[in-house]
Structure 1
Amino acid sequence: MFIRSERLFLRPGWPEDWEELLSLIGDEKVVRHLANVPWPYTAHDARAFIALPHDRLLPRFFITQPGASGARLVGGVGLHSGLETADGAPELGYWIARDLWGRGYASEAGRAVLSLARTLGYERIVATHFIDNPASGRVLEKIGFRHTGRLVERFSKSRGAKFPAREYERRLGHCDSDDDGGLMRSRRAA
């Protein structure tokens, strides 16, 4: 499965991507904000992540930026079953290489995945961010997530302990909804 947005191309990981993945996510300042990524991140971890089976209902993508000399890896985004929710809502997760923070790539990729989630029939998506990463909360709010008012304890593989995280949710209404968090703009631009 592939998704094209205004500036980005989202695609599955391929075995030959492991070295580029390792060079970008093998950064403690990136990994410490992620719940399911160990530190230190190794070549074995990169190869194992790429080899994970794909689930069409919980898609995950590498975020790439096409250019004249090919498409460079920017980060990752996808849906997974991280949080235990009563309705089984999937969780949105993402990361961006540190030297590319602040360029809107997480928001753009997040919107694209939310549009796909709506197409897959999901009515609600959840997300969290560790409290020491408020920039991630701003990304979530920018794409239409609302803070639930709850703090949850999330285990962080890189920190080796539970750490407080803010919980968010995004309700996915009909395609003609005015409260789409920019999804329709993303679709029109694609």
Structure 2
Amino acid sequence: MHTIPLETDRLILRKFEDKDMQPLHLLLMDETVNTFLPWFPVKSLEDTRTFYETHFAGKAYHFAICLQSDNIPIGYVKADTDDSHDFGYALRREFWHRGIATEAGKTLVAYLRKDGVPYITATHDKNNPRSGKVMRQIGMRYCYSYEEQWQPKNIRVVFRMYQLNFDGQDDRVYRKYWNLYDAHYVEKHL
């Protein structure tokens, strides 16, 4: 393992701590921020703590994104350790469109590469193309699209699946979603 926290000139990526529940709550309660995330906005600090314990506590590659100026979380960036190695992130709205998600993503990618993770995948709703832009900016490439009845929100969504291989197997494509959903295809214009 490598040194944590991970730092750039502007950001600190570190593990969430107990003192971070209020800043995390600000992120998780925002309906706009959570529109394209696979959960509903939280309603209380207790819900935030439960979310933290379920989704972040003890996870190897789940980090708070903090500014160097105050070390208070403004978002998160993560990669799962299951076979998808799913990459994801979220930022409070007032920090959107500043390149922070891309900077945090590139920092995490470098860490994962050094740690021997073979690849990452990520998906985004086709109605959220800015997320796809972040994925491309950190080096991911579009592989395919698929349609599913997305839970827990129970809405029909077309997802675009991206991947970045670290281990030299450049042609490898994670096919789980392709195989799982009958409605799958490659979009030519991407």
Provide Cα deviations, 1:52-97, integer angstroms capped at 9, x if missing partner. Answer: 43133xx100100021xx2232210011157xxxxx2401010011
Provide Cα deviations, 1:11-42, integer angstroms capped at 9, x if missing partner. Answer: 1111121111111231111001112x323443
What corresponds to 1:51 in structure 2? 53
Equivalent residue runs for 1:130-145 within 5 Å = 130-145=125-140
What corresponds to 2:75 in structure 1? 75
What corresponds to 1:92 in structure 2? 87
3-state secondary structure, aligned to 1:62? strand
Q: Partners in 1 of 2:119 and 2:141 — Cα distance?
A: 11
Structure 1: runs of 5 or more not aligned: 83-87, 175-190
Q: Partners in 1 of 2:27 and 2:37 — Cα distance?
A: 14
Provide Cα deviations, 1:91-149, integer angstroms capped at 9, x if missing partner. Answer: 10100111111000000000111111112212211000111111000010111110002
3-state secondary structure, aligned to 1:102? coil
**Could you tell me which amino acid in structure 1 is paired with residue 58 of structure 2?**
H
**Could you tell me which amino acid in structure 2 is paired with residue 172 of structure 1?**
F
What corresponds to 2:66 in structure 1? 64
Percent of pairs identical after alignment?
28
Q: How many residue pairs are counted as aligned between the two chains?
A: 163
Greater Cα shift, 12-21 or 137-146: 12-21
Residues 21 and 46 in structure 1, CA contact (< 8 A), matched pair in contact too: yes
Shift of 1:153: 2.5
Structure 2: runs of 5 or more not aligned: 169-190
Q: TM-score, normalized by length of structure 2?
A: 0.77
What corresponds to 2:34 in structure 1? 31
CA change 1:62–1:22 in 2 (3 A) is same
3-state secondary structure, aligned to 2:116? coil
Equivalent residue runs for 1:1-190 within 5 Å = 1-35=4-38, 37-52=39-54, 53-56=57-60, 59-67=61-69, 70-80=70-80, 88-153=83-148, 155-157=150-152, 159-173=153-167
3-state secondary structure, aligned to 1:112? helix
**Could you tell me which amino acid in structure 1 is paired with residue 40 of structure 2?**
P
**Could you tell me which amino acid in structure 2 is paired with residue 3 of structure 1?**
L
**Could you tell me which amino acid in structure 2 is paired with residue 26 of structure 1?**
M
Residues 156 and 163 in structure 1, CA contact (< 8 A), matched pair in contact too: no
CA change 1:163–1:40 in 2 (3 A) is farther
3-state secondary structure, aligned to 1:55? coil
Q: TM-score, normalized by length of structure 1?
A: 0.77
Q: Partners in 2 of 1:103 and 1:49 — Cα distance?
A: 26
